[in-house]
Structure formats: C-alpha cells, structure tokens
C-alpha cells in the first residue's frame, strides 16, 4: 500500500491523486491507489483501513492498471467518476451518468463507494452493484430474468493479479435457487437448493449456525442473495483465485475463517458421475446407490469415478416382467439433492 493523505469526498475541485485516500466516516474502509508485489502497476481499490497487511475488497480498474505517477481519480464533466492515466486519458469510468448539476464520490461506512448527485442527493452509481471478488455486509448477488442483469463474484487471476480469473460465483434462477461456482463454462461446485435459512448441501450450516445471509426470490423472475450483518465490521466473503469461497472476520489480531467451500473432495461437481454417491466417512469415498453398479468397473478400481453407476437390473415398468416383485423408492438421507431438481 502507499502512504496517504485522507480526503472526505472526491469532487470536481478535489480529485484523488496517488498518495491520497478517501476514507469512510467510521474509519473502517479506505479507497486509494495501491500496488501488488512491488509492481509498477497501480490500481484504485477499497481496503480495510486499519488492518495490516492490507486486504483489498474491491478494485476499479482490475483489467487496466495505471503506470503513470500523474494518474488521478476525478469527477468528469458528465458527473461520472473517471480514472485518468496521466496523458493517456480515461482508462476506467463509472459510465455515462449525466449529472447536470455535478456530483461527488464518497465512501460509505459499509465500504460501498457512491457517486451522488449534488442537488438531489440521489445515488447515481455504487460499487456494490459492480462487485469484484468479495462481498461485504449489506452487499448482494442477484439475477433478473426480465432484464438479463446478473451480479456475481469473479475471482482474481492470481494473488498478485486482480484481473478477472477463471472462477465465478453466482446464484441460479431456478426455484429454490442454489449457489454455484463456475470454472469457465463448467460447474465447479454447487450449494444445493436454499431451504428457508440455509443451503441444504453445506454441512457446516447445521441448526446451531446463525446464517448471516438471506435469499429472496419473487414471481417476476428476480432473486437476491444478501449479506445481512449490519453491525459487524472487518468481515468479508471472498472468491479466491483457487476457486474457494471463504467467509472470515478479523478479530483485531488475525483473520478467523468461518467456513471454506468447497470443503472436501465430495463437494466438487460431477466427480462421482451419475448415480454415484460420495461418503466422507469411508474410503474409497465413492459408492453406487442401492440397486446400481459401476458403469466402468476397471476405471472404478483406478478411482476414476466420473463414469458413474448404472442400474443392476432394469425397472419392471421399463420391461415386460411380471411377478411378485415391484419397483419401490429407496430413501437416502443426508445427501445433496440432484442438480436440475
């Protein structure tokens, strides 16, 4: 991080230069220029103000670092917040806002960066609607089928490179919704469906767990997964560059990890194939449901379970068999419901 002099707001008359920061009024969050791994590349980001080493929770120009010492963040003539890379012009902006009477930028006590209209006081833009790899309390993931809008988390490419990585965390539009981590175009992990106060496929969230998240869906085709903790500071959920979702809180000395997902090898999507069941308490962990056998027995012995299982005998309703035997359902407790339920 860079040494800084703190500002209360960014205005047309008061741009933010390298070495200056914008702080929230509760002194929990700070916005400014930073570099990673002693690189010459500079980014504008938000981090926890008093925690050392600094933990960045949002980056504006994650795909386009600035390299000029004369770079600055300013309110543009149309009211938008723009990052200028010296003589090279604008390399990042909040977009066309058109505040005819001007605007200013301030950092709220929740870590949300706002661009606010000078006259109406209305928020024209906010960073919580443009998430990076982290969620803070009061932020949310969302989807809207009518507009096609979607708010997701996107991992960093690496620990020292905040450009978009290969993992994306989002909620699905099915009802009830579930959380998923995508690796490129393929599912990497899923939470199982939401059930009142928790996702059914996360064993850490038992009855004693006080969930800081909520999920709401409506009949108009939209849904929100919200981080509810209002009175707790220095808490975050992050999607790491390795594809893990981690929720943690700083206790004044160090970060305390609440949970990490995927939590074990049973969590990874599709590893055990159709009709395969992963059981954490046994080795090997994969077995077939009752009435099923491995589809490729030799691969199964090599612990390659992706081919899954097939029925030992066909269902009576699928054949012409008659007799005293009938098809029945076999209950299997404490498992994640199948995908596309």
Closest CA to 63 of 85, 78, 37: 85
At residue 319, the pLDDT reads 59
Half-sphere CA count of 89, side-chain side, radius 13 A: 0
In contact, 279 and 271? CB cutoff 8 Å: no
For the domain with range 131-268, which CATH number is right: 1.25.40, 1.10.3470, 2.90.10, 2.60.40? 2.90.10
Determine the pLDDT at residue 329: 84
Residue 15 has a pLDDT of 95
For tokens 């003539």, name the residue: 77
Q: Which pLDDT tens digits describe the chain residue by residue (341 residues)?
A: 443 445 579 998 999 999 999 999 999 999 999 999 889 999 999 999 989 888 999 999 999 999 999 999 999 988 999 999 987 799 999 988 776 688 999 999 999 999 999 999 999 999 999 999 999 999 999 999 999 999 999 999 999 999 999 999 999 999 999 999 999 999 999 999 999 888 988 876 555 567 789 999 999 999 999 998 767 789 999 999 999 999 999 999 999 998 899 988 889 998 889 999 988 887 778 999 989 999 999 999 899 999 999 999 888 776 555 556 677 888 888 888 888 75
Domain 1-129 in CATH: superfamily? Bulb-type lectin domain (2.90.10.10)
Burial letters 17-32, b for 16+ CB under 10 A, else e? bbebbbbbeeebbbbb
Residue among 17, 26, 131 nearest 73 (CA) = 17
From residue 266, alpha-carbon distances to 184, 213, 333 in Å are 20, 23, 16
CA-to-CA separations, 278 to 267, 308, 338, in angstroms, rounded: 9, 11, 13
Q: For the chain, how many residues are written?
A: 341
d(CA 9, CA 21): 9
Residues forming CATH 2.90.10.10 domain(s) in the chain: 1-129
CA–CA gap between residue 76 and residue 69 (Å, rounded): 20
């Amino acid at each position: 991080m860079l040494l800084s002099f703190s500002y209360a707001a960014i205005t047309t008359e008061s741009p933010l230069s390298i070495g200056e920061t914008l702080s929230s009024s509760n002194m929990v969050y700070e916005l400014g220029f930073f570099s990673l791994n002693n690189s010459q590349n500079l980014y504008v980001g938000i981090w926890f103000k008093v925690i050392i080493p600094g933990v960045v929770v949002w980056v504006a120009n994650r795909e386009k670092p600035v390299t000029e010492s004369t770079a600055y963040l300013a309110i543009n003539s149309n009211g938008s917040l723009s990052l200028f890379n010296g003589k090279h012009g604008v390399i990042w902006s909040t977009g066309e806002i058109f505040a005819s009477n001007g605007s200013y930028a301030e950092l709220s006590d929740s870590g949300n960066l706002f661009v606010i209209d000078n006259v109406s006081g209305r928020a024209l833009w906010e960073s919580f609607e443009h998430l990076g790899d982290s969620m803070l309390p009061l932020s949310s993931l969302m989807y809207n089928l009518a507009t096609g809008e979607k708010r997701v988390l996107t991992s960093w490419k690496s620990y020292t490179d905040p450009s978009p990585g290969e993992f994306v965390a989002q909620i699905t539009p099915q009802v009830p919704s579930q959380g998923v981590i995508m690796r490129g175009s393929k599912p990497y992990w899923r939470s199982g469906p939401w059930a009142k106060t928790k996702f059914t496929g996360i064993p850490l969230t038992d009855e004693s767990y006080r969930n800081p998240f909520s999920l709401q869906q409506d009949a108009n085709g939209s849904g929100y997964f919200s981080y509810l903790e209002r009175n707790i500071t220095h808490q975050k959920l992050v999607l790491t560059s390795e594809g893990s979702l981690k929720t943690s809180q700083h206790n004044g000395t160090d970060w305390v990890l609440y949970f990490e997902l995927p939590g074990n090898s049973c969590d990874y999507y599709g590893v055990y194939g159709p009709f395969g069941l992963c059981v954490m308490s046994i080795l090997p962990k994969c077995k077939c449901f009752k009435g099923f056998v491995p589809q490729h027995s030799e691969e199964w012995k090599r612990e390659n379970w992706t081919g899954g299982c097939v029925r030992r005998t066909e269902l009576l309703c699928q054949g012409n068999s008659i007799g005293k035997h009938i098809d029945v359902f076999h209950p299997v407790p404490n498992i994640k419901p199948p995908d596309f339920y």
